[in-house]
Amino acid sequence: MSENLFIHPENYFTQNTPPENLSDIIRNTSDFIAENAKHGIPIVLVTSGGTTVPLENNTVRFVDNFSAGTRGAISAEFFLKSGYSVIFLHRKHSLQPFNRKYATPELGFLDFFTTNSSGSISVKEQYQKSMSSDISLFNNAILQKRLYMPSFISLSDYLFSLREITKLLGKLGSKACFYLAAAVSDFFIPNDQMSEHKIQSSEGELFLKMSQVPKFLKPLVKSWAPRSFVISFKLETDESLLEEKARKSLEKYGHQAVIANMLHTRKFVVWIILNDNIQKPEEIHLTQAQIDQSFEIEDLIIQRIVQLHNSFINSEKSRI
Ligand code: 9Z3
């Protein structure tokens, strides 16, 4: 790839346009952090879902990816359960904690309800128990300011929001956890090279030249939240590359761990690779019995991440 296609992470922010609601996100994030810090509640930023890359400034077409936000949404639920407050930075219309269960490929929202002869609506008997529990968990999390759910659509919405939220949360130091599960685009078209209006099919074949997205983990770990606990994800489709790529990422950015997963098995097995260069990857997998009972792997992942985060906090305390 030619040199001029590389953009420095900080230059990205001068060359691209922030989302219109960025100042709201900054204000809400500050309030959320202040409220939780007051009660000594640990906070995790969970990023979730895929970023889009527009092909036109007046966007008709964009490049997207496969991520549905399942990992992020379920992880957020288990972080809440483990006593964390959660900033859930997610792709608009992707899966959300608790709500995710009520629009699945098999069951749409309306499938959960029934009406009687006078037209009043109720939840079908078989869903009442779990729905009632999810409604109260969700409402309580929102009301008690333990869950804040800003959203993004494009790569630039995501990166601007990520930078601001990270800088604010990073002030909590080791108590802040970053769990970066969003599927972030690797390539994009810089603003000044993007067509202003809808690309016309009358112009014939379309050739795309895309720049490499700057590596944002670097400033995140080195300057936006240098003392915090940062977990990134690595996704591959060729298993022989997975561990090596995860270790390279740890070497390059110096954060605490990478959760490595394969596209087709990501719901059943992941590997946690710690930044100590000694230990073998820790495999976390579901047994067939657990799969049959619809057990969620995020339950096991979050238990381990919480343990690791606690030792990180304690090791910092012992250094002071
Ligand atoms: C992941 O690897 C997530 O686990 C998935 C979850 C996106 C696979 P779903 O949303 O899928 O449950 O459908 N996220 C990180 C993917 C990513 O973009 N990683 C970058 C890379 O692999 C590094 S930050 O290079």
For a ligand 1 pocket test, name from 64, 66, 71 the mutation site with the most ligand atoms within 8 angstroms of its C-beta: 71
Question: For atom 16 of ligand 1, which residue has the closest CA?
Answer: 183
CA distance linking residue 52 with residue 316, whole number of Å = 37
**ipTM, two decimals:** 0.95
**261: Cβ below 6 Å to ligand 1?**
yes
CA distance linking residue 304 with residue 302, whole number of Å = 5
**51: Cβ below 6 Å to ligand 1?**
no
Q: Over its length of 320 residues, how does the chain's per-residue pLDDT go in tens digits?
A: 444 457 789 899 999 999 999 999 999 999 999 999 999 999 999 999 999 999 999 999 999 999 999 999 999 999 999 999 999 999 999 999 999 999 898 999 999 999 999 999 999 999 999 999 999 999 999 999 999 999 999 999 999 999 999 999 999 999 999 999 999 999 999 988 999 999 999 999 999 999 999 999 999 999 999 999 999 999 999 999 999 999 999 999 999 999 999 999 999 999 999 998 778 999 999 999 999 999 999 999 999 999 999 999 999 877 76
The closest of 212, 256, 259, 210 to 236, measured between CA atoms, is 259
For a ligand 1 pocket test, name from 51, 66, 67 the mutation site with the most ligand atoms within 8 angstroms of its C-beta: 67
3-state secondary structure of 88: strand
pLDDT, tens only, 230-252:
999 999 999 999 999 999 999 99
- Kindly give the residue spans of alpha helices, DSSP state H, lying in the chain: 9-15, 22-38, 70-81, 128-143, 155-170, 217-219, 239-253, 288-292, 297-319
Q: Which residue has the tokens 């096991």?
A: 300
Interval between CA 183 and ligand 1 midpoint (Å): 4
CA distance linking residue 95 with residue 92, whole number of Å = 9
The closest of 212, 208, 187, 181 to 298, measured between CA atoms, is 181
Interval between CA 120 and ligand 1 midpoint (Å): 43
What is the Cα Rg of the chain in Å?
A: 21
Interval between CA 284 and ligand 1 midpoint (Å): 16
Interval between CA 182 and ligand 1 midpoint (Å): 6
Which atom, in ligand 1's list, is nearest to the CA of 69? 10
Question: For atom 10 of ligand 1, which residue has the closest CA?
Answer: 69
CA distance linking residue 182 with residue 76, whole number of Å = 12
- Report angle CA 312, 318, 319 to the nearest 5 degrees: 90
Interval between CA 260 and ligand 1 midpoint (Å): 9
What ranges make up the beta strands (E) of 141-247? Answer: 147-148, 151-152, 176-180, 187-188, 211-212, 229-236
For the chain, domains (ranges, CATH) are: 3-96+149-319 (3.40.50.10300), 98-146 (no CATH)
Interval between CA 66 and ligand 1 midpoint (Å): 9
Interval between CA 249 and ligand 1 midpoint (Å): 14
Q: Are 63 and 184 in contact (CB under 8 A)?
A: no
Give the pTM.
Answer: 0.96
**90: Cβ below 6 Å to ligand 1?**
no
Question: For atom 25 of ligand 1, which residue has the closest CA?
Answer: 234
